[in-house]
Amino acid sequence: MRSSVLIFFFCVALYTAAAQQSLYHNCTGGTFDSADSGGFGGSLSALFSKLSSASLASNAANDTAGAGTDAAYGLYMCQGDLSGSDCQSCVQVAIAKINQSCAGYRRGFIWYDQCLLRYSKVDFFGQVDFAGVIMVNSETTSSMEPYEVMSALVEEAPFRQPLMFASNASDLYPIFAIAQCTSDLTPDSCHGCLTSILNFMQTCCLHKRGWRYLSQSCWIRYEATPFFSVPSKTEIIRSRCSADDFPAALLASEQSNLLAVVAELESNANSSGFYNTTIRDQRVGDLFGLALCREDPAALPSSACTGCLHRGRTAIANECTNKTQGIMWYDDCLLRYSNQTIFNVVDSEGRTFCSGESVSSDTANITITGAGAVVEAAVGNASLFASGIFTSRNANTSYVTAQCTRDLSRHNCRRCLGDGIRIVTDNCTQRRGWQFLSGSCMIRYEAYPFFTEMAPTTTVPRGGPGGGGGGGNSSPGGGGRRSSNVKVIAIILPIVAVLFLGS
Ligand SMILES: *[C@@H]1O[C@H](CO)[C@@H](O)[C@H](O)[C@H]1NC(C)=O
Ligand SMILES: *[C@@H]1O[C@H](CO)[C@@H](O)[C@H](O)[C@H]1NC(C)=O
Ligand SMILES: *[C@@H]1O[C@H](CO)[C@@H](O)[C@H](O)[C@H]1NC(C)=O
Ligand SMILES: *[C@@H]1O[C@H](CO)[C@@H](O)[C@H](O)[C@H]1NC(C)=O
Ligand SMILES: *[C@@H]1O[C@H](CO)[C@@H](O)[C@H](O)[C@H]1NC(C)=O
Ligand SMILES: *[C@@H]1O[C@H](CO)[C@@H](O)[C@H](O)[C@H]1NC(C)=O
Ligand SMILES: *[C@@H]1O[C@H](CO)[C@@H](O)[C@H](O)[C@H]1NC(C)=O
Ligand SMILES: *[C@@H]1O[C@H](CO)[C@@H](O)[C@H](O)[C@H]1NC(C)=O
Ligand SMILES: *[C@@H]1O[C@H](CO)[C@@H](O)[C@H](O)[C@H]1NC(C)=O
Ligand SMILES: *[C@@H]1O[C@H](CO)[C@@H](O)[C@H](O)[C@H]1NC(C)=O
Ligand SMILES: *[C@@H]1O[C@H](CO)[C@@H](O)[C@H](O)[C@H]1NC(C)=O
Ligand SMILES: *[C@@H]1O[C@H](CO)[C@@H](O)[C@H](O)[C@H]1NC(C)=O
């Protein structure tokens, strides 16, 4: 199943990154002689060993070792979706690191991307401690949806068993969010902890596209890209909103024009798979919109197009609130609006998304050559779409599609796609899967069939160059819409600010 591939790939990618560096650690609480194997040091060693064994079976636990003045209390928590072995690796790395960094201290805590570890000579079980780390992304968003999603998780997580952990990968928006508490808390104190840190985020960080608060007793995290394994197929959505807002004085009219544009796109684009429209407004200026559905008639009944447009219509207005331009790309459709003329103008701000896995240079060459042929076929197609399947010497198969929005002239379509190929050639060299997404055209390559295989297909035999794209209809099925997203998700947003909150 594709989703298991996705889970595996993602955990590994993240875990490797996480294992290398702790996010933060802190040592306090007075000192003891760490060379003495008895006393508090002995209790601590015993505690570490208990926690390390427990972490294979559970993603959160607390335990004690020793007695009286030498007692040591400790706990760990792994992100709720981690496998037992990944949790244990994270905890073991944390133990080794804290044992070294906090050597001789009676109290210590440490965070990694996916686990935290904490110990003390004092029994802290059941007490909520907010001291921790806040991290935010540099990108911003005006959407309140992440907050809404997180608010729901904050209500759910405390009542989950055995882990107080809840997650949501929203299909509608690019939102991935988790909330989780350490095992020593009661559901009530867990709820209190999560509510408090979410309230705190409200005072600083909700306009950021990606934020987390890692406290010693609970944590919340939201990103616009996946950072935990998604249990079922989740569509990956990408968006781009302009930096500039509609002038405040015109906002009401502009927003109502925007709603009119997306409503018109929704009701019209599904019949032919493309629609462009202009709302003329003398006072505030014209507003332009277009929508394009994925061209893959067999795999994509118009209901998928209709459904995608429906979700996108609501989402784009929310995601790009107040913005003069917006684009959202889904697996099945693209929606775009702007206060500037966009028709038959090539959007030059296309972006690439490359898989983390690699292919041989032979396969990469075949793919790029094949993609060039698919581009030519798309330019020659009335719907400005083509697909192709290419097989290299080592029997690796590449699946490629190219598509332009139908407002483009053939000349501009070729320009847009040609630029795309040049950019992915540079940016995604020898990657096993990539996408180029612009507001005017899209190219996508995967090592598995993500569109309906069509007959006749054009292949590049035995590693020779040449060949071309094929278009056509075929039977439905083909696995077309399965987890298209394995390849584009390995983008971990850079974190720009780390701020410590005193307890
Ligand atoms: C470590 O934690 C203590 C108590 O929570 C806090 O007072 C102190 O400022 C922290 N030290 C650093 C370097 O963050
Ligand atoms: C912790 O450090 C002490 C002294 O440096 C060492 O003896 C002990 O084996 C370490 N324990 C773990 C679990 O790494
Ligand atoms: C949109 O603009 C209005 C008026 O300037 C402002 O009150 C509102 O907070 C803005 N909304 C967002 C989500 O930025
Ligand atoms: C995730 O969030 C979305 C958007 O708020 C909501 O519609 C959906 O029900 C949530 N899913 C889960 C499993 O909580
Ligand atoms: C974990 O913490 C709870 C209270 O918060 C406590 O009742 C329980 O005994 C602790 N577990 C262990 C193994 O110490
Ligand atoms: C297109 O969408 C509109 C509105 O959602 C719907 O009424 C219409 O039946 C759809 N047409 C097709 C061909 O699916
Ligand atoms: C689009 O809106 C921005 C911000 O209000 C404005 O500067 C720009 O002139 C507008 N463009 C057009 C073509 O109206
Ligand atoms: C190409 O890769 C560079 C470096 O990773 C990145 O900064 C740039 O935005 C990428 N270009 C596109 C078009 O995605
Ligand atoms: C495809 O390429 C990979 C690495 O480049 C190679 O390991 C594999 O054997 C090739 N063949 C197939 C059928 O995947
Ligand atoms: C792939 O193409 C590059 C540049 O065109 C070339 O240097 C390389 O030898 C080719 N590799 C294979 C395996 O054909
Ligand atoms: C749609 O786009 C074409 C350019 O491709 C343009 O000529 C036409 O006016 C647009 N239609 C509307 C309704 O804006
Ligand atoms: C263009 O592609 C579509 C979808 O693959 C196909 O149905 C159509 O026949 C093609 N048109 C031409 C002129 O090649």
pLDDT single digits (tens) 176-206: 899 999 999 999 999 999 999 999 999 888 9
How many Å lie between the centroid of ligand 9 and the Cα of residue 14?
Answer: 24
For ligand 5, is residue 58 a contact (CB within 6 Å)? no
Q: Report yes or no: 234 and 169 within 8 Å, Cβ to Cβ.
A: yes
Which residue has its alpha carbon closest to ligand 10 atom 5?
Answer: 365
How many Å lie between the centroid of ligand 4 and the Cα of residue 170?
Answer: 6
- Whether 258 shows a pLDDT value over 90: the answer reads yes
Question: What confidence tier does 393 reach under pLDDT thresholds 50, 70, 90?
Answer: confident
Give CA–CA dist 454/26, Å, rounded. 59
Token couple for 3 = 């989703």
Question: What confidence tier does 123 reach under pLDDT thresholds 50, 70, 90?
Answer: very high
CATH architecture, domain 238-338: 2-Layer Sandwich (3.30)
> Strands 385-391 and 434-437: what pairing?
unpaired
For ligand 1, is residue 341 a contact (CB within 6 Å)? no
Res 135: pLDDT: 87
* Superfamily of the domain at 2-120: Gnk2 domain, C-X8-C-X2-C motif (3.30.430.20)
Res 495: pLDDT: 29
Domains 2-120 and 351-463 share a fold: yes
Per-domain boundaries in the chain: 2-120, 132-232+491-501, 238-338, 351-463
Token couple for 136 = 């935010």
Report the CATH fold assignment for 351-463. Killer Toxin P4; Chain A (3.30.430)
Tokens 């590449």 identify what position? Answer: 398
Q: Report yes or no: 326 and 337 within 8 Å, Cβ to Cβ.
A: yes
Q: Write down the CATH number for the domain with range 132-232+491-501.
A: 3.30.430.20
Ranges 113-127, 175-189, 231-245, 398-412: which has the least confidence: 231-245
Average pLDDT estimate for 304-323: 87
Pocket test for ligand 11, best of 338, 343, 384 (most atoms within 8 A of CB): 343
185 CA: nearest ligand 5 atom:
5
Task: Starting from the CA of residue 287, give the closest ligand.
Answer: 7
If we measure between CA atoms, which residue out of 117, 84, 61, 97 comes closest to residue 15?
A: 84
